Amino acid sequence: MPKEGITPRAQDYSQWYLDIVSEAELADYSPVRGCMVIKPHGYAIWEHIQAGLDQRIKATGHVNAYFPLFIPMSFLMKEAEHVEGFAPEVAVVTRGGGEELAEPLVVRPTSEAIIGSMYAKWIRSWRDLPVLINQWANVVRWEMRTRPFLRTTEFLWQEGHTAHATEEEAEAETLKILHEVYADFVEREMALPVLRGRKTEKEKFAGALRTYAIEAMMQDGRALQAGTSHNLGQNFARAFDITYQTPDNRQEYAWTTSWGVSTRLVGALIMAHSDDEGLVVPPRLAPVQVVVVPIYKRDEERSLVMQTIDRLQQEWGGRFRLKVDDRDHLTPGFKFNEWELKGVPVRVEIGPRDVEKGMAAVARRDVPGKQGKAFVEQAGLGDYIAGLLNDIQRELFDRARRFQKERTLEVRTYDELKEAVETGFARAYWAGTTEDERRIQDETRATIRVIPFDQPETAGRCVYTGKETTQQAIFARAY
């Protein structure tokens, strides 16, 4: 039975998602249209996401900096394709300090323009390259249809911006971020398998030479773009005059990249793993990995149980992110319900009988009910929990990977593609144009998510045009 207050997924998946966000206390609606307040539990998950990504970003040689929220309008106008791509989403400030501004300021939708202007000041010689900078920031995009975490007017993200001497170095950087940072993090920490590949010309980032992405499948079969990495070529370097002197004294334009992921990863986590009982969080990202609930009726029983819990805590020595829920005014049942809703991976219950027997009841969140519960000796309980957390992390990934494979169909005809995108991904041979893509989107509401890196050795006929090709594409409806 689903939790009270949570609409079953099978009944209304969209409302189920909103119910999870609310009931698990992840976020609330702001008085500002399209914005959200991230509540402590939701922000704690974001902090773990941020920490895991930041570690990987720094391990690949990047450093963090910060750039202004406001961008002069003239800066944004310098790269024509870029400004055209963001024009509908831009928020503009025209007054400040009670006066009309001499030049309007754009609230950053992304920072290529402002960072490009700074790189033009900082870079003079080939010795200054590469520049490898990341920033953690907020951005504003005036979205028409919003949904907490997935698409909001203001959201939190990281955006990396780098400059290189050659196209080869920029391309290597773009792919390194995609594979070693984004895909590695999402699969290892979020327990979510992703497809990796290149975006089509229609779907690429405005102003980029090439865009690469990782795409994840949600439980309703729709795709969610979990991260993008852009080779910007020399487009922004030319717009902002980012040049360097070569070893043989020539002036060349730099090759730049940008890449980012955002708080929509929290939305991906919700939709990939959670169930009708509430949130399910992979152990590596869980703010609380283990909750211990003492069970007692009388004061003397409380003292006995809490002594045992204190001893176990000391034995475990900080191995887990642990919470002891010793609130006296709430029943154990209420606590079980609350921590299940919030997705804590492991719950430990200890009562007077458990103390006498040297046992504890251990429940895993990813397997609700009696099947997910075991009685374990207190001696060695720490090792058992550590193993259980690893098992949960692995099994969440395996479950999501099985689901992805089951819902990804090889299709040969347009009718088969139309049917496949109703419930998942369609993989098909593709030799169409941008106009063909638009027509398919109009007719099916599906888009090409990526041209995957893994391509067949044999030729086939394009699912839409019938032309022979060796290239395949992944089609899906997306968030």
pLDDT digits (tens, 9 = 90+) for 194-230: 999 999 999 999 899 999 999 999 999 999 999 999 9
On whether both 451 and 353 belong to a single domain, the answer is no
Instruction: Tell me the backbone φ, ψ of residue 210, rounded to 5 degrees.
Output: -145, 145
Phi, psi of 350 (to 5 degrees): -135, 120
Q: Tell me, yes or no, whether 325 and 430 share the same domain.
A: no
End-of-domain residue from the set 248, 273, 298? 273
Say how far apart CA 27 and CA 2 lie, in whole Å: 21
Kindly state whether residues 382 and 414 are assigned to the same domain: no
Any domain includes 41: yes
Domain co-membership, 68 together with 147 = yes
Is residue 246 pLDDT above 80, yes or no? yes
Residue 91: Cβ within 10 Å count: 14
Rounded CA separation 357/409 (Å): 52
**Using CA of residue 153, residue 88, residue 74, residue 76, what is the dihedral sign?**
positive
Contacts for 373 with CB less than 8 Å, ≥ 6 apart: 361, 362, 363, 364
Residues 175 and 229 occupy one common structural domain: yes
Write out pLDDT tens, residues 127-136: 999 999 999 9
**Quick one: average pLDDT of 71-95?**
85
Percentage of the residues of the chain whose pLDDT score is greater than 90: 94
Q: What is the DSSP string of 61-114?
A: T-EE----SEEEHHHHTTSHHHHHHHGGG-EEEEEETTEEEEEEEEEPS-SHHH
Point out the domain boundary residue: 273, 308, 337: 273
Q: For residue 1, name the pLDDT band (cuts at 50, 70, 90).
A: low
Count up the domains in the chain and report the number: 3
pLDDT at residue number 84: 77
* Distance from C-alpha of 296 to C-alpha of 475, rounded to nearest angstrom: 55
Q: Which residue has the tokens 């007054």?
A: 95
Return phi, psi of residue 285, to 5°: -110, -5
* Global pTM value: 0.95
If asked whether residues 219 and 351 sit together in one domain, one would say no
Q: Which residue has the higher pLDDT, 3 or 215?
A: 215
Closest by Cα among 252, 218, 253, 203 to 233: 253
What does the alpha-carbon distance between residue 71 and residue 405 come to, in Å, rounded to a whole number?
44
Pick from 133, 126, 114: which is nearest to 240 by CA? 114
What is the C-alpha separation between 73 and 139, in angstroms, rounded?
16
User: Can you tell me the distance from the alpha carbon of 281 to that of 283, in angstroms, rounded to the nearest whole number?
Assistant: 6
- Considering the domain architecture, whether residues 371 and 445 belong to the same structural domain is answered as no
Closest CA to 232 of 86, 81, 109, 84: 81
Answer yes or no: do 67 and 200 share one domain.
Answer: yes
Among 393, 256, 388, 277, which Cα is nearest to 336's?
277
pLDDT for residue 146 is more than 90: yes
Cβ neighbours for 466, distance < 8 A, ≥ 6 positions apart: none
Contacting residues for 368 by C-beta, under 8 A, at least 6 apart? 275, 277, 340
Residue 130 preceded by cis peptide, ω within 30: yes
The confidence band for 299, taking pLDDT boundaries of 50, 70 and 90, is confident
User: Quick one: 337 and 450 in the same domain?
Assistant: no
pLDDT of residue 96 exceeding 70: yes
Closest Cα partner for 278 from 348, 362, 183, 344? 344
With a cut of 70, say whether residue 80 has pLDDT above it: no
* pLDDT, tens only, 423-465: 999 999 999 999 999 999 999 999 999 999 999 999 999 999 9
Q: Report the Cα–Cα distance between both ends of the chain, in Å, rounded.
A: 28
Q: In this structure, is residue 278 part of a structural domain? A: no
Whether the per-residue pLDDT at 476 is higher than 60: the answer is yes
Q: Please give the residue range of the domain that contains residue 307.
A: 288-390
Establish if 353 belongs to a structural domain: yes
Q: What is the CATH number of the domain that holds 419?
A: 3.30.110.30
For 178-188, what is the mean pLDDT?
98
Inter-residue contact 211 to 198 (CB < 8 Å): yes
* Res. 474: pLDDT tops 90: yes
Confidence check: pLDDT of 4 > 90: no
The whole-number pLDDT of residue 2 equals 66
Same domain for 354 and 445, yes or no, is: no
Closest alpha carbon to 381 in 336, 316, 317, 323: 316
Residue with tokens 């019938």: 466
CB atoms within 10 A of CB 124: 12
Q: Look up the CATH number of the domain holding residue 317.
A: 3.40.50.800
Query: How far is residue 129 CA from its own chain's centroid?
Result: 30
If asked whether residues 55 and 124 sit together in one domain, one would say yes
Q: What is the pLDDT of residues 387-398, one digit of tens each?
A: 999 999 999 999
Clarify whether residues 351 and 458 are in a common domain: no
pLDDT in tens, 306-357: 999 999 999 999 999 999 999 999 999 999 999 999 999 999 999 999 999 9
Q: What's the pLDDT tens digit per position in 102-125?
A: 999 999 999 999 999 999 999 999
pLDDT over 70, % of the chain: 99
Q: What angle do CA 216, 195, 398 make, to 5 degrees?
A: 70
- Looking at the predicted structure, is the pLDDT value of residue 57 above 70? yes
